[in-house]
């Protein structure tokens, strides 16, 4: 009765024919049963009707072992299909992840490019508008700071430098005062675009006049030792709101990146 389970598979499972066709030739021939045995098996398996018609040994040899093989193949196929599906899924997930990373990188690159372009545009605009800041003097030594000194407040920063050392406008602005004042000696006041007013004092030479527009780095005169001065130096004061309210030039210059000395 070992062939009973096969019956259903054999007749109902014609879709498996292509699989049977792939069986090795040697397998079929070596398992051909004698006709009588075959006939008996057919009767057992399929009933009288089948036995009366000519039973075919080729049908009979598709019995126990072959069924088992077919099942094994089926199981193996199923496993392979499952494995393939899993691999495809894993592969597509990896592809998606990779694509995501590539897109993120592309986005980051685009953002960086956009930011760089915006920064460059801002710098170009600032340069066009003269809004950059430059050092008032290129070389020198800070000799005296802002604060209490010799019984009174020192409202500026002193930078020692040889007489004749060039002095420059720190940014775009207008000269609001230029001339010789008793204690300050040669003095130039510039109001910049942001409202800040700078005072340069003890100058030996003044090369701008009141009302003149200046751009960053424009020459305004030279270092000197005029007025109440003990040695050639630049006395620089910073008045952020334009009134006579000086602040310590050191942090102000430092913040602008134009600290001298």
Q: Which two tokens stand for residue 100?
A: 């995501």
Candidates 235, 259, 247, 256; CA nearest to 133 is 256
Query: Closer to Zn ion at the Cβ: 144 or 212?
Result: 144
What are the φ/ψ torsions at residue 171 (nearest 5 degrees)? Answer: -160, -165
Interacting stretch for Zn ion, rule CB under 5 A, among 37-45, 159-167, 231-239, 247-255? Answer: 231-239
Q: Which of 135, 235, 239, 258 binds Zn ion (CB under 5 A)?
A: 235
Q: Which of 61, 158, 189, 218 binds Zn ion (CB under 5 A)?
A: 158
Interacting stretch for Zn ion, rule CB under 5 A, among 20-28, 57-65, 229-237, 243-251? Answer: 229-237
CA distance 38 to 53: 13
HSE, CB side, 13 Å, CA atoms: give it for residue 59: 21
Q: Does 189 bind Zn ion (CB under 5 A)?
A: no
Tell me the β-bridge partners of 247.
238
Q: Does 202 bind Zn ion (CB under 5 A)?
A: no
Query: Closer to Zn ion at the Cβ: 135 or 202?
Result: 202
Q: Does 155 bind Zn ion (CB under 5 A)?
A: no
CA distance 135 to 258: 5
The CA-atom distances, in angstroms, between 87 and each of 72, 84, 90 are 22, 5, 5
CB-nearest residue to Zn ion: 235
**CB-CB contact of 172 with 215 (8 Å):** yes
The CA R_g of the chain, rounded to the nearest whole Å, is 50
Binders of Zn ion: how many residues, by CB under 5 A? 3
> Mask: binding to Zn ion, 20-59, rule CB under 5 A, as x and -?
----------------------------------------
Query: Closer to Zn ion at the Cβ: 10 or 235?
Result: 235
Q: Which residues bind Zn ion (CB under 5 A)?
A: 156, 158, 235
């Amino acid at each position: 009765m070992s062939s009973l389970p096969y019956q259903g598979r054999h007749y109902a499972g014609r879709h498996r024919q292509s699989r049977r066709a792939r069986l090795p030739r040697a397998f079929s021939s070596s398992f051909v049963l004698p006709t009588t045995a075959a006939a008996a098996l057919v009767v057992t398996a399929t009933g009288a009707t089948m036995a009366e018609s000519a039973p075919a040994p080729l049908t009979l040899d598709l019995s126990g072992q072959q069924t088992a093989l077919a099942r094994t193949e089926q199981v193996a196929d199923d496993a392979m299909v499952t494995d393939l599906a899993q691999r495809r899924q894993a592969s597509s997930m990896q592809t998606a992840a990779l694509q995501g990373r590539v897109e993120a990188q592309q986005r980051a690159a685009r953002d960086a490019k956009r930011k760089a372009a915006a920064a460059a545009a801002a710098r170009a605009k600032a340069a066009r508008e003269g809004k950059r800041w430059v050092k008032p003097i290129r070389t020198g030594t800070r000799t005296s700071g802002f604060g209490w000194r010799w019984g009174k407040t020192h409202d500026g920063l002193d930078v020692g430098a040889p007489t004749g050392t060039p002095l420059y406008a720190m940014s775009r602005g207008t000269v609001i005062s230029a001339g010789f004042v008793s204690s300050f000696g040669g003095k130039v006041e510039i109001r910049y675009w942001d409202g800040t007013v700078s005072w340069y004092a003890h100058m030996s030479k003044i090369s701008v006049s009141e009302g003149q527009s200046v751009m960053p780095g424009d020459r305004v005169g030279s270092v000197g030792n005029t007025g109440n001065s003990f040695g050639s130096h630049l006395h620089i004061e910073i008045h952020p709101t334009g009134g006579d309210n000086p602040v310590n030039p050191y942090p102000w210059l430092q913040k602008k990146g134009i600290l001298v000395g």
